[in-house]
Amino acid sequence: MLFRSFVTGAAGFIGSNLVDRLLADGASVTGWDNFSTGQERFLEGALKHPRFRLVRGDNLDLPALTAAMKGADFVFHLAANADIKDGWQHPRKDLEQNTIATFNVLEAMRANGVKRIAFSSTGSVYGEALVTPDRPTPETDAFPIQTSLYGASKTAGEGLLAAYAEGGQIDEAYVFRFVSILGARYTHGHVFDFYKQLIEHPDRLRVLGDGTQRKSYLYVQDCLDAMLHVTRAHTAREAKHHTQVYNLGTPEFVQVNDSIGHICAALGLKPKLEYTGGNRGWIGDNPFIFLDTKKIQATGWKPKLTIAQGIVQTLRWLEANRWVYEARH
């Protein structure tokens, strides 16, 4: 069990769900967040829990981060700038909030003698991978040219973890390369954006690209199941270089047009679709993301929800929590 966990990005989408899960499983949790995108409302339940402590702080403040981490025995580093689409509007943010922040987390761990870490990476590290429906991208694929600042910054973070592990500073390093995650407390991404548009204009929907982009998705509770399954099994302890890398996703993918179909069917709408054109939605978008998850599934984990089920569950949460649209702006 993870009894004294430190969670960066604790008020975010995945982080707040992880906090709740860890508390339910008996852990003591310190949550750390700068609230640049996180929502304190996501932590309403945790804040009432005697084994939860919230510390407001930024990963760029190394002394404060080091002090807050004191007493932890496991770090879940989830805090990041995940705004791929608008990365070139603020390129320094990816460097600071993803790469330098990860370095600071590792240095705070070193100062406190914390030897175990789980890092939320991304399938974007593969750039525009050579992928087909019959050959999803495995963890062993070489990285091609990076297509986004986000992917580049996460690649750098992975490199730092591996170096600290190889240098004897970490006993167990877990790198999780996520596909896009869906579920309760979801506050950015295509379901969020499409539903926002349809609230305002139920008769039309603007779609970035031509709708044929193919993506894989994973429900947040399935994501947490996978992370906790392998970290509690200590799979990195005896691994080469004390580092385990896992793709996290489902063994399926959908087109953006398929997602639109699931969303509109659930809402009972038939909007006119207005495509911007091309097979990419923005600079850095990949036309096809599909990760090979055989490695994580070989440990005994399998996702419970299909992509279609995850999309509808996410939509239902957004319908019941429209306040998140006001909170984001």
In this structure, are 50 and 150 located in the same domain?
A: yes
Per-residue pLDDT of the chain (329 residues; tens, 9 = 90+): 457 999 999 999 999 999 999 999 999 999 999 999 999 999 999 999 999 999 999 999 999 999 999 999 999 999 998 877 777 888 898 899 999 999 999 999 999 999 999 999 999 999 888 899 999 999 999 887 888 899 999 999 999 999 999 999 999 999 999 999 999 999 989 999 999 999 999 999 999 999 999 999 999 999 999 999 999 999 999 898 999 999 999 999 999 999 999 999 999 999 999 999 998 887 778 889 999 999 999 999 999 999 999 999 999 999 999 999 988 75
Residue 273 falls inside a structural domain: yes
- Give the SS3 label for residue 69: helix
In this structure, are 168 and 209 located in the same domain?
A: no
In this structure, are 121 and 194 located in the same domain?
A: no
**Phi, psi torsion values for 83, nearest 5 degrees:** -85, 80
Cα separation values, 32 from 10, 65, 237, 238, Å: 6, 8, 26, 29
pLDDT at position 248 = 98
Residue 132 falls inside a structural domain: yes
Catalytic residue among 126, 150, 164, 186: 150
Residue 64 falls inside a structural domain: yes
pLDDT at position 329 = 56
pLDDT at position 129 = 87
In this structure, are 134 and 237 located in the same domain?
A: yes
Report CA torsion sign: 258, 13, 75, 147. Answer: positive
pLDDT at position 63 = 98
In this structure, are 187 and 204 located in the same domain?
A: yes
**Catalytic site includes residue 150:** yes
Residue 208: CATH number of its domain: 3.90.25.10
In this structure, are 223 and 83 located in the same domain?
A: yes
In this structure, are 115 and 143 located in the same domain?
A: yes
Residue 299 falls inside a structural domain: no
In this structure, are 108 and 233 located in the same domain?
A: yes
Residue 11 falls inside a structural domain: yes
Among candidate residues 37, 151, 29, the one with its CA nearest the CA of residue 85? 151
In this structure, are 203 and 117 located in the same domain?
A: no
**Which residues contact residue 196 at a Cβ distance below 8 angstroms, ignoring those fewer than 6 apart?**
325
Residue 101 falls inside a structural domain: yes
In the chain, the number of structural domains is 2
In this structure, are 198 and 132 located in the same domain?
A: no
Residue 32 falls inside a structural domain: yes
Residue 296 falls inside a structural domain: no
Report CA torsion sign: 107, 26, 227, 43. Answer: negative
Domain that holds residue 316: 183-215+252-290+304-327
Residue 306, judged by CB atoms within 10 A of its CB (0-12, 13-18, 19+), counts as middle
Please state whether beta strands 217-219 and 272-275 pair in parallel, antiparallel, or not at all (unpaired).
unpaired
Residue 75: CATH number of its domain: 3.40.50.720
In this structure, are 134 and 196 located in the same domain?
A: no
In this structure, are 125 and 176 located in the same domain?
A: yes
